[in-house]
C-alpha cells in the first residue's frame, strides 16, 4: 500500500511568509492550440519539499548532486502530538537506527494554510537533533513548515550533517500504527538548494 504524504500543488496554495506565490498557468489550450501545456513559476519551498545543505549552509552542491539513496529508506515515526518542543526520549534510542528516515507527527497538518501553522508550530530541539546525528539518519520529515524559527539553528545543524529536511507532510497519522514502512521522497534533478517532491510512505 502507498500513502501519499504530499500536498497538491495549485494556484493560491499556502506559502511560507515572505515567499513568492506560485504561478501555474495554462499556456496552451487543446481547443485553441491543439495541445495543452502549463507553465510553472515557483520557489523550491512551497508545499511538500526537501531542503538540501545549500539552503542554509555554505555547501555549494545542488540537490541534484546527491545520491538518490538519501531520499529512500526505512521509516520510523515519532508521535509528538501536543509537544511544543520536541526533545529526545529514552525509547527513541532503541527505535532510531542507522540510515533511518525519521518522520515526526505533531498533528499540525490541521492548521495548514493558517497563520498559526507558520508562526506557532512546534520546535525540534537541538538535543534530539544530536540523537539523529549520532544515529546517522538520512532524512527527517514532519507535518510542519519548519523544524525551527529564526535564526534557524535546528535547520543548520541538520543540514551541516547532511540530514535532509522534508517539510510540509500530510497524512502522517496513517502511519501511527504501521509496524514497518519505507519512505520515498525523490527531488527533481534540478540545480537548486531544494526541490518540490511527491513524498510517499510504502507499507508491506
Q: Report all structural domains of the chain as residue ranges with CATH numbers, in order of start.
A: 2-8+45-202 (3.50.30.50)
CA end-to-end span of the chain? 6
| Nearest residue to 78 via CA among 41, 38, 40, 125 | 125
**DSSP per-residue codes, 54-106:** GGTSS----GGGS-GGGGEEEEEEEE-TT-SEE---HHHHHH--TT-EEEEE-
| pLDDT tens, residue by residue, 9-64 | 999 999 999 999 999 999 999 999 999 999 999 999 999 999 999 999 999 999 99
Q: Please state, in angstroms and rounded to a whole number, the distance separating the CA atoms of residues 96 and 119.
A: 29
pLDDT (tens digit, 0 to 9) for every residue of the chain, 204 residues total? 999 999 999 999 999 999 999 999 999 999 999 999 999 999 999 999 999 999 999 999 999 999 999 999 999 999 999 999 999 999 999 999 999 999 999 999 999 999 999 999 999 999 999 999 999 999 999 999 999 999 999 999 999 999 999 999 999 999 999 999 999 999 999 999 999 999 999 999
Which residues lie across from 196 on neighbouring strands?
49
Q: Please state, in angstroms and rounded to a whole number, the distance separating the CA atoms of residues 196 and 12.
A: 16
Amino acid at each position: 500500500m502507498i500513502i501519499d504524504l504530499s500536498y497538491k500543488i495549485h494556484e493560491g496554495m499556502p506559502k511560507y511568509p515572505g515567499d513568492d506565490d506560485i504561478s501555474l498557468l495554462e499556456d496552451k489550450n487543446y481547443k485553441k492550440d491543439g495541445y495543452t501545456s502549463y507553465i510553472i513559476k515557483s520557489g523550491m519551498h512551497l508545499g511538500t519539499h526537501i531542503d538540501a545543505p545549500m539552503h542554509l549552509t555554505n555547501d555549494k552542491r545542488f540537490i541534484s548532486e546527491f545520491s538518490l539513496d538519501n531520499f529512500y529508506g526505512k521509516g520510523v515515526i515519532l508521535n509528538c502530538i501536543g509537544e511544543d518542543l520536541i526533545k529526545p526520549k529514552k525509547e527513541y534510542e532503541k527505535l532510531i537506527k542507522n540510515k533511518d528516515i525519521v518522520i515526526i507527527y505533531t498533528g499540525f497538518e490541521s492548521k495548514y494554510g493558517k497563520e498559526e501553522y507558520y508562526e506557532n508550530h512546534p520546535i525540534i530541539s537541538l538535543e534530539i537533533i544530536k540523537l539523529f546525528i549520532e544515529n546517522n539518519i538520512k532524512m527527517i520529515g514532519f507535518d510542519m513548515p519548519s523544524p525551527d524559527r529564526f535564526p534557524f539553528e535546528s535547520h543548520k545543524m541538520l543540514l551541516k550533517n547532511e540530514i535532509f529536511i522534508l517539510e510540509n507532510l500530510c497524512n502522517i497519522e496513517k502511519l501511527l500504527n504501521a509496524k514497518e514502512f519505507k519512505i520515498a521522497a525523490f527531488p527533481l534533478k534540478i540545480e537548486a538548494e531544494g526541490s518540490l517532491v511527491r513524498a510517499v510512505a510504502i507499507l508491506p
